[in-house]
Structure 1
Amino acid sequence: MRFNGTVRRGLGGTATAVAAMAALTASQAPGLTGQAGGDMKNAAADDVVWTEAPNDDSYHTELPPLVTPEPPKPATGKAGEGGKPGAALPATGRAWAEAGIPGTVLAAYRSAEASLARTDPGCRLPWQLLAAIGKVESGHAAGGRVDARGTTRTPILGPVLNGAGFAHIADTDGGRYDGDAVYDRAVGPMQFIPSTWAHWGADGNGDGREDPNNIHDAALAAGHYLCVGPRDLSSRGDLDRAILSYNHSDTYLATVRSWLEFYRKGTHPVADGTGVIPGSPGAGGPHAPK
């Protein structure tokens, strides 16, 4: 379930408040819209007014393994499940694989955390939160399929937002980012709606461009979005509100929190393009959302 909301934004730790409209759509990422309707829910700490958009939930639903990530251990003298001596134990092997984050993507998450620590230290953004959202949104840019600059090798797009099962958002970018001049689609590894990117876009790799398809840019923009206003993400309440601002869904909140705790227990870099790709419907995976 996505939502449209009105948010009061503060960046760089200053007291300046900038009015921003956020609309979440097909890929649980932030998006802008002029739609109204639905039940209104107030989140007083953020001055967010929620307008829920039903049936807009294409995020990946896999949960992390229950075991703590650690290097896989060889089987003791017996053939593993694959019939080869020394094969990794299945549960531990999966945990180790899922704890691997493509190197360029992991660097982008960490860089965004460092940037926010300088510009908005009160937010206390953990890079593991960006990793959890990036996992659920796009499987870490489809398993890290990015070039040396961090730009996705092929577009990562959410469903067409034409009102058929998802929110209805008419085109706002002339197809510049999503290739659709009729309707909007969520774009990139952090799944930004083009109209939201127009407000929150950031240059995370210092190349002078703001590109939602670039993991460095998208991670930094997502960090700013999560740190809106006076949020302190070391507080459970503010952390939950930040996650819900990406997708106002209890299931989404629980899924992201599960990955957050998993990544806090340990991660390691893997080669770009070799990360685990989610099997559930959603952006960056093999199946389109239903």
Structure 2
Amino acid sequence: MVRDVEDGDRAWVREVLAGAWAGTRVVVRGRSRDAAGLPGFVAVEDGRRVGLLTYDTGPTGLEVVTLNAVEPGIGAGTALLDGARRVAAEHGLTRVWLITTNDNVDALRFYQRRGMRITAVHPGGVDRGRLVKPAIPLDGKYGIEIHDEIELEATAAGVRIRDGAMTDIPAVLGLLDAATEWLVSLGRTGQRGTAPHSTNPRRLAAMAAWVSAGHLHVAEVGGRPAGALAVGTAPDYVPSVAGPELYVNLLVGSRAHRGIGGLLLGHARVLAVRRGLPLLRVDCYAGGDRALAGWYERQGFTATDPFTVGDWPGQVLQQRL
């Protein structure tokens, strides 16, 4: 069983962290945090606390800051990692990630066998971390000198987000058609109109261009497309901004899979941060009760510039990363 860390666990949490990390402060990518004060999970077996995971959340996803199986070999680490992926999905975060060290070959095997991929190696990352925390040892497991940080990641539970392909275009157009039909059934025809997208040559051409440029990303549930995201540059009809940005050109999700839109927005944040882009923008329909603009605001965006295209009222929103 995995449960949240409770007040009664705090002394035990500090003990576990101090024993495994030479203190409760953990340095990752040069950033020092007191892991004892972070949210986390405890793995429990027959009433015993057998594992601990602490985590932090941000625009790049849910970061596993520490993971310790107090009693190895009984599945505590796997259960804790699964818990992190579930919480990430509940928070609308697409990515679970962590940093380990170059000597931690057992952990590298463990994480990769559970679906995590190595996405970056930061040479000298631990060496730089010692400037912040001198207690970090020089020698690690198997007599390996500790110098480098290795970054691994996985997607949130139940969802896979991948690059879009030409073969995805019919399914994505189908998602847009279904969204339009739902809006029409509610009498909300101002947002997307009433015509199907799948028969619109301009929409088809835009999809093909996004795929060719690597801008289309597809969320899969059970191997089937459940949502789509396209990111790139801002369209001509919205006010420009000074400085670099990533723009959300398309966001659509299946109503059968609640939260897909938020997960895809989380993926857009990850893409922006990886590219060194400090600003994420999007625009949406702003007519009627502004329900869609309100949804983006609940996702952490701030409304900036209203605009109109013909008689269609729009709203630009942004989020600093």
Over alpha carbons, which structure has the higher Rg?
2
TM-score class, shorter-chain normalisation, is under 0.3
Structure that is richer in strand per residue: 2
Normalised to the residue count of structure 2, the TM-score between the two structures is 0.23
TM-score by length of 1: 0.25
